[in-house]
Amino acid sequence: MTPAVVLLSGGLDSYTAAAVARRDGFELFALSFRYGQRHQLEIESARRVATHLGVSRHLVLDLDLSAIGGSSLTSPDIPVPRDRQVDATGIPSTYVPARNTIFLSIALGWAEVLGASDIFIGVNALDYSGYPDCRPEFIHAFERLARVATRAGVEGRALTVHAPLMRMTKAEIIGLGMALGLDYGLTISCYDPAPDGAPCGHCDSCQLRATGFAAAGVPDPAGRPLAR
């Protein structure tokens, strides 16, 4: 089997992207990060998802991006925006500076060690929060960088960054995942859940998820009474 590194956040999108990789015959090497995000529930979800997908290995790395700050996901003193509030740039404060660049870079290093030429990432540029590092031009620029960044690149083994959800609506993503037999009850999407894991219902991620399930015409298996 051909190995692929799959970035797993514990959310719905990365789970679906990884399932696409599995469907396409790749052997999965999952990579998650404790990067100083507000809650560690994401990592527990990522572990459940990795188990469910039958990955060959799940690597969880620590990298404290809260030391850098600049995001409401890593700085407790910056509130998570509610009800689709954005700043003047159209990019909400949940944007974590350079996060996907950092995660893909580390995935690139692991891929090189594994002899893998494929990375899967669950970014989406349709039903998303406007993050610059979720767009096709970002993915393509990263692939170009990889060609000159690594031994594999120098030897002519091009890296492909697969973003199979890039142009799908959230409802389409959910429909695809259902068809692939995924259990979205394993995932967590909320940026700012209660300590018991109950979603806030007001953050971008909660609202995109709720709208997606409604449009897909299926109930959210992780659905619970909203926390507040």
Q: Which is nearer to its own copies, 106 or 214 (CB)?
A: 106
Minimum Å distance from CB 174 to its own copies? 28
Minimum Å distance from CB 87 to its own copies? 9
**Any bridge partners for residue 3, and if so which?**
27
Neighbours of 21 (CB within 10 A): 25
CA 58, CA 47: separation in Å to the nearest integer? 8
- In this structure, which amino acid lies at residue 148? V
Minimum Å distance from CB 145 to its own copies? 4
Minimum Å distance from CB 55 to its own copies? 15
Q: Which is nearer to its own copies, 3 or 132 (CB)?
A: 132
Q: Which is nearer to its own copies, 154 or 179 (CB)?
A: 154
SS (H, E, C) the chain: CEEEEEECCCCHHHHHHHHHHHHCCEEEEEEEEECCCCCCHHHHHHHHHHHHHCCCEEEEEECCHHHCCCCCCCCCCCCCCCCCCCCCCCCCCCCCCCHHHHHHHHHHHHHHHHCCCEEECCCCCCCCCCCHHHCHHHHHHHHHHHHHHCHHHHCCCCCEEECCCCCCCHHHHHHHHHHCCCCHHHCCCCCCCCCCCCCCCCCHHHHHHHHHHHHHCCCCCCCCCCCC
Minimum Å distance from CB 94 to its own copies? 12
Distance of CA 49 to the CA centre of its chain: 12
CA 117, CA 113: separation in Å to the nearest integer? 10
Q: Which is nearer to its own copies, 64 or 83 (CB)?
A: 64
Q: Which is nearer to its own copies, 47 or 218 (CB)?
A: 47
Minimum Å distance from CB 98 to its own copies? 3
Q: Which is nearer to its own copies, 138 or 213 (CB)?
A: 138
**Residue ranges binding its own copies (CB under 8 A):** 59, 61-65, 67-70, 89, 91, 95-102, 104-106, 108-110, 112-113, 132-133, 135, 137-138, 141-142, 144-151, 153-155
Minimum Å distance from CB 154 to its own copies? 5
Q: Which is nearer to its own copies, 98 or 194 (CB)?
A: 98
